[in-house]
Amino acid sequence: DNDGWPDIFFVNGTTLTGFPAESAPTNHLYHNNHDGTFTDVTASAGLSATDWGQGVCVGDYDNDGWEDLYVTYYGKNRLYHNVGGRFEEVGGRAGVAGNGKAWGSGCAFVDYDRDGYLDLIVANYADFDLLHPPAPGKYPTCLWKGIAVFCGPRGLPASKNILYRNSGNGHFQDVTASSHIDRTMGHFCFSVSSFDYDDDGWPDIYIACDSAPSILYHNNQDGTFTDVGILSGVAYNADGREQAGMGSTVGDYDGDGRLDLFRTNFSDDTSTLYHNNGDGTFTDVTYRAGLGAHTQYLGWGTMFFDFDNDGWPDLLLVNGHVYPEVDGLKVGIDYNEPKLLYHNRGDGTFADVSQVAGPGITVPTPARGLSVGDLWNDGRMSAVIVNRNALPNLLVNQKKYPNHWIDVRTVGTRSNRSGIGARVSVRTPLRRQIGEVCSGSSYISNNDMRVHFGLGSENEIRFIEVRWPSGLVELFRDVTADTVMTAKEGTGEPVRADVGSSTKPN
């Protein structure tokens, strides 16, 4: 509602067979009361929808200054247009509802052609026949450790991802074929992370895929994409194996000025940290970074975030198994699983601090979605977690660290109003840090889109640099630490405007 305090939106799902009238679970929107509490405003906001909900992404698709919501479903997806704090469902009218037959999963708003309007990438999981599902244990793909379980994803028909181009008039055009997004087939896709991995000024798209090579769509700057997942090194792990990717997050964990990539995977495997080499390729450094010890957990949502504001992005993973049958079978795995919190040592490695992080981390739950943000504008990042068939978790950062911080909110004018895709750099006397404004990410979730930086002991900010999607690069000076600052495009000190050029493909 544009009051400057992050609110919380939960996506919920019904059973596919439905609930009795008036008893079906709905999505929920909670308004931040600025005092550590929230109020459920779902009904008054117009968001009391039901159905088998999956994921959500946020962005101001019509540049009216109000953030809109896109929610994926098994069936038709929904686009909620924010009209002054109340939402109107316009998915069908805008052309982004889909055909009603897809199993929607992750999504992200991204201005892939840099024309100032947010486009939309939607990942789909599988083509699932609700009327004729394979019975648990019927096929080899319906067994896990000898246990009869629900089938999939192998054995199910894979679905295709969809790219919608924003026409700038409230409508979107399906450009999946003309953009070459449809040339990558046979993948079971989950989370979407859009980021400029090769630093050419054009947003690229990464999609974590289950039981298949993950996808990295390189932006060709002409309205088309090429899947370079294999060539760049992020489709497989260091052993050359495809993994069962679930969630993903992007951040410069080692402070070299390049955005790295982390992906969560299924159990009996490690999650994967890909170091950006700066030449269009990545290297799997999972074990080198100290992240290869836990293979028993099934990872979902994950985020780089600096929980102690020491200037080095830490890493949070939430876990939970998919097969309730594992409980009681003594296979060394439980359905409810603890979270994992890794502290960044600042030397390219991480320390597992989960056991000293409190019950919010150690108590096992069937976790799925994860979102992080500065909920109370005090520089202490909190985490919101969705659990399957259980209450959500709100993990509040209880410790007051002596370090400094800055939150950067971007407002585009020539660029999209949300500033999605903007590269933000903070320069202090001793260091330079980078971040990027992102929609989507984690596990089919969306985070506080303000870019948060911990500053350590430094309380002097020399300047903040923003490279806007329009190509404009400008500096913002006289910024005070320990505050939330707004960077509005065109109000800073211009540096250059030569980072590529936008295009409007037909």
pLDDT digits (tens, 9 = 90+) for 411-422: 999 999 999 999
pLDDT at 505: 36
pLDDT in tens, 158-206: 889 999 999 999 999 999 999 999 999 889 999 999 999 999 999 999 9
**126 pLDDT higher than 80:** yes
Residue in this structure with the two tokens 């939430």, named with its chain if needed: 318
Average pLDDT of the chain is 94
Rounded CA separation 407/207 (Å)? 27
**CA dihedral in degrees (45, 125, 448, 312; nearest 10)?**
170
The first and second tokens of residue 96, run together, are 């982004």
Query: What's the predicted TM-score (pTM) here?
Result: 0.96
- Pairwise CA distance, residues 252 & 340, whole Å: 19
Q: Is residue 138 pLDDT above 90, yes or no?
A: no
Place 504 in a pLDDT band, splitting at 50, 70 and 90: very low
81-120 pLDDT, tens digit per residue, is 999 999 999 999 999 999 988 899 999 999 999 999 999 9
The pLDDT value given to residue 425: 99
pLDDT in tens, 30-58: 999 999 999 999 999 999 988 889 999 99
Q: What is the number of helices (H) and of strands (E) in the chain?
A: 4, 36
What CA–CA distance (Å, rounded) separates 343 from 173? 43
Looking up tokens 């379980």 gives: 149
Nearest residue to 123 (alpha-carbon basis) of 80, 77, 154, 167: 77
- Residue type, position 449, single letter: M
Q: How many CB atoms are closer than 10 A to CB 485?
A: 16
What pLDDT score does 42 carry?
98
Cβ atoms 98, 122 nearer than 8 A: yes
Region 366-381: mean pLDDT is 98
Mean pLDDT across 230-247: 97
At 502 the pLDDT is 46
Task: Please give the share of the chain, as a percent, with pLDDT higher than 90.
Answer: 84
Residues 444, 386 contacting (CB under 8 angstroms): no
Strands (E), 44-187: 53-59, 68-73, 78-83, 86-89, 104-110, 119-124, 143-144, 147-148, 162-166, 172-174
pLDDT per residue as tens digits for the range 16-31: 677 777 788 899 999 9
In whole angstroms, what is the distance from residue 156 CA to residue 486 CA? 47
pLDDT attached to residue 498: 53
Query: Band of the pLDDT at 157, cuts 50, 70, 90?
Result: confident
Distance CA 295, CA 266 (A): 9
Q: Specify whether the CB–CB gap between 489 and 476 falls below 8 A.
A: no
CA 377 vs CA 59, 401, 434: distances in Å: 20, 15, 20
Question: What's the pLDDT band for 148 if we cut at 50, 70, 90?
Answer: confident
The strand pair at 404-411 and 483-488 is best described as: parallel
pLDDT value at residue 503: 42
63-73 tens-digit pLDDT: 999 999 999 99
CB burial of 355-394 (b: ≥16 within 10 Å; e: otherwise) equals eebeebbeeebbbbbbbbbbbbbebbbbbbbbbbeeebbe
Rg of the chain on CA atoms, in Å: 21
Residue 506's pLDDT is what?
A: 31
Distance of CA 84 to the CA centre of its chain: 25
* Domains identified in the chain and CATH numbers: 8-496 (2.130.10.10)
**296/293 Cα distance (integer angstroms):** 9
Q: Which long-range contacts (CB under 8 A, 24 or more apart) does 384-387 make?
A: 384/8, 385/301, 385/318, 385/339, 386/10, 386/11, 386/301, 386/445, 387/320
Residue 298 gets the label, from left (phi > 0), alpha (psi -120 to 50) or beta, of beta
Distance CA 102, CA 157 (A): 11
Is residue 163 within 8 A of residue 219, CB to CB? The reply is: no
Tens digit of each residue's pLDDT (9 = 90 or more) over 307-341: 999 999 999 999 999 999 888 877 788 999 999 99
> What is the band of 500 on the pLDDT scale with cuts at 50, 70, 90?
low
Question: Residue 335's Cα: distance from chain center in Å?
Answer: 24
